[in-house]
Amino acid sequence: MVGQDDFFIRRTFTLAERGRGSVSPNPLVGAVIVRNGKILAEGWHKKYGGHHAERDAILKLAGQKPIKNCARGAVIYVNLEPCAHHGQTPPCTDIIIEAGIKKVVFAVRDPNPQVRKLGSVRILKKAGLEVVYPVLEQEARELNKVFFKNQTQSLPYITLKSAVTLDGKIADARGRSKWLTGPEARAEVQKLRLTHDAVLVGKNTVLQDNPRLSIRLTGIQKENYKIILGARGQFPKNTKLLKDPLAIFTVERDLKKLLAGLYREHKICSVLVEGGAAVNTSFLRSGMVDEWQLFIAPKILGGDALPVFGDLGIKKLADFKHAPIQSVQKIGADVLLNIRFNK
Ligand code: AOF
Ligand code: ZN
């Protein structure tokens, strides 16, 4: 049987999802207010700078009436520890206490150092509230995997995306790669671009394909940063990315420094690395890749075709790189493996 806590925390995950695409660099957060097993109000963080989920739910419940004791004796469920700091919005702990809530159930501690140092749990307990955590912690971390990476390492979350043949090739001997995977898989790549703040490619990809790296999904206006590992001057005049105001050309050799700068200076919270082989190799070697979205086409090229990775410095079998598979999905005629390196 699913316990009540699990049930309502799962509901907060669903509500939190509604903010996807508009709350970054903030986390996805949902909240549910419950009394006697019945939901009184639901809320979620809708956009960056807007009300936090807890406040959204409490304001809905209060309606025209005063906030004071509007949720007397109720339980609030949240997928993240309520904040106690003054950011762009006042502390959630204040409004939770004011609303007369008696118990707070949350999924996972907030990794934000500002929140941590104030200690929401202590504040809530001191005000006489019961506090329960963690609940479904792994799922809650997964939901906000980008936020957790950002807050704990001051780095963007890195997803490597590759499309390969069954024998691990990304292009023929002359570098031609259009198209290995089918239309369904390519549509999936568009979705990946949408859920990341930036797309990153190496200079060979730009010279070879002259890509736009834009998001081509009907009804979507969002434009992403494009990071190109190469100096502007290295590309011919007709290079499409030269005209893109969101294109960042860079010759930074230290990947970690580059990524830290993108996070610090441009608030780029997640980067989709789209190859080619040289970029794939240096990212994998650097240990910076969190996730690998590997599309496998039912094709074989053999021989001189270009492999997805070059030399990784691995000399013997025992030194192989671990690449644990999180999920397997059939997409059209292709297969998508989701691989997690840093879990
Ligand atoms: C919550 N509920 O719905 C969210 C929280 O600048 P602010 O005021 O929006 O604060 C941002 C920080 O607050 C963010 O880094 C994270 O630690 C927390 N986000 N907390 O209690 C929410 N979005
Ligand atoms: Zn808050």
Residues 162 and 87 in one domain: no
Residues 71 and 117 in one domain: yes
Contacts of 133 (CB under 8 A, 6+ apart): 81, 105, 106, 107, 108, 109, 121
4: left (phi over 0), alpha (psi -120 to 50) or beta: alpha
Residues 35 and 51 in one domain: yes
Q: Per-residue pLDDT averaged across 153-159, rounded? A: 97
Number of structural domains (the chain) is 2
| Structure confidence at residue 292 (pLDDT) | 98
Bridge partners for 249 per DSSP? 228
| Structure confidence at residue 91 (pLDDT) | 95
Domain range for 33: 4-148
Of the listed ligands, the closest to the CA of 87 is 1
Q: Per-residue pLDDT averaged across 136-151, rounded? A: 97
CB of 146 sitting under 6 A from ligand 1 = no
| Structure confidence at residue 114 (pLDDT) | 86
Q: Per-residue pLDDT averaged across 194-216, rounded? A: 91
| Structure confidence at residue 300 (pLDDT) | 98
CB of 70 sitting under 6 A from ligand 1 = no
Domain end: 148, 169, 185, which one? 148
pLDDT of 303 over the 80 cut: yes
DSSP H or E stretch at residue 83: none
| Structure confidence at residue 285 (pLDDT) | 95
| Structure confidence at residue 221 (pLDDT) | 74
Compute the distance from residue 75 Cα to the ligand 2 centre, in Å.
16
CB of 88 sitting under 6 A from ligand 1 = yes
Compute the distance from residue 83 Cα to the ligand 1 centre, in Å.
6
pLDDT tens digits for range 12-69? 999 999 998 889 899 999 999 999 999 999 999 999 999 999 999 999 999 999 999 9
Compute the distance from residue 342 Cα to the ligand 2 centre, in Å.
28
pLDDT tens digits for range 106-135? 999 999 998 888 899 999 999 999 999 999
CATH number of the domain that 91 lies in? 3.40.140.10
Residues 130 and 210 in one domain: no
Residues 72 and 26 in one domain: yes
Question: Whose C-alpha lies nearest to ligand 1, atom 10?
Answer: 87
Residues 195 and 173 in one domain: yes
What are the two backbone dihedrals, phi and then psi, of residue 25, each rounded to the nearest 5 degrees? Answer: -85, 10
pLDDT of 252 over the 90 cut: no
Domain end: 114, 129, 148, which one? 148
Rg, C-alpha atoms of the chain:
23
Residues 119 and 221 in one domain: no
| Structure confidence at residue 220 (pLDDT) | 72
Residues 161 and 309 in one domain: yes
CATH number of the domain that 299 lies in? 3.40.430.10
| Structure confidence at residue 1 (pLDDT) | 54
CB of 110 sitting under 6 A from ligand 1 = yes
Residues 52 and 181 in one domain: no
pLDDT of 229 over the 90 cut: yes
CB atoms within 10 A of CB 60: 16
- Could you identify the residue written with the tokens 């780095």? 155
Contacts of 74 (CB under 8 A, 6+ apart): 33, 34, 35, 40, 99, 100, 101, 102, 103
Handedness of CA 216, 217, 222, 228 (dihedral sign): negative
Average pLDDT, the chain: 95
CB atoms within 10 A of CB 339: 18
| Structure confidence at residue 199 (pLDDT) | 97
Q: Is 179 assigned a ligand-binding role in the annotation? A: yes
Question: Whose C-alpha lies nearest to ligand 1, atom 4?
Answer: 52
Bridge partners for 35 per DSSP? 38
Of the listed ligands, the closest to the CA of 109 is 1
CB of 58 sitting under 6 A from ligand 1 = no
Report if pTM > 0.90: yes
Residues 285 and 196 in one domain: yes
Task: List the catalytic residues.
Answer: 54
HSE-CB at 297 with a 13 A cutoff on CA atoms is 20
N-term to C-term CA, the chain? 29
Compute the distance from residue 11 Cα to the ligand 2 centre, in Å.
18
Domain end: 148, 182, 203, which one? 148
Residues 185 and 322 in one domain: yes
Higher pLDDT, 194 or 5: 5
pLDDT of 167 over the 80 cut: yes
| 217 band by pLDDT with thresholds 50, 70 and 90 | confident
pLDDT of 73 over the 90 cut: yes
| Structure confidence at residue 130 (pLDDT) | 98
Residues 28 and 166 in one domain: no
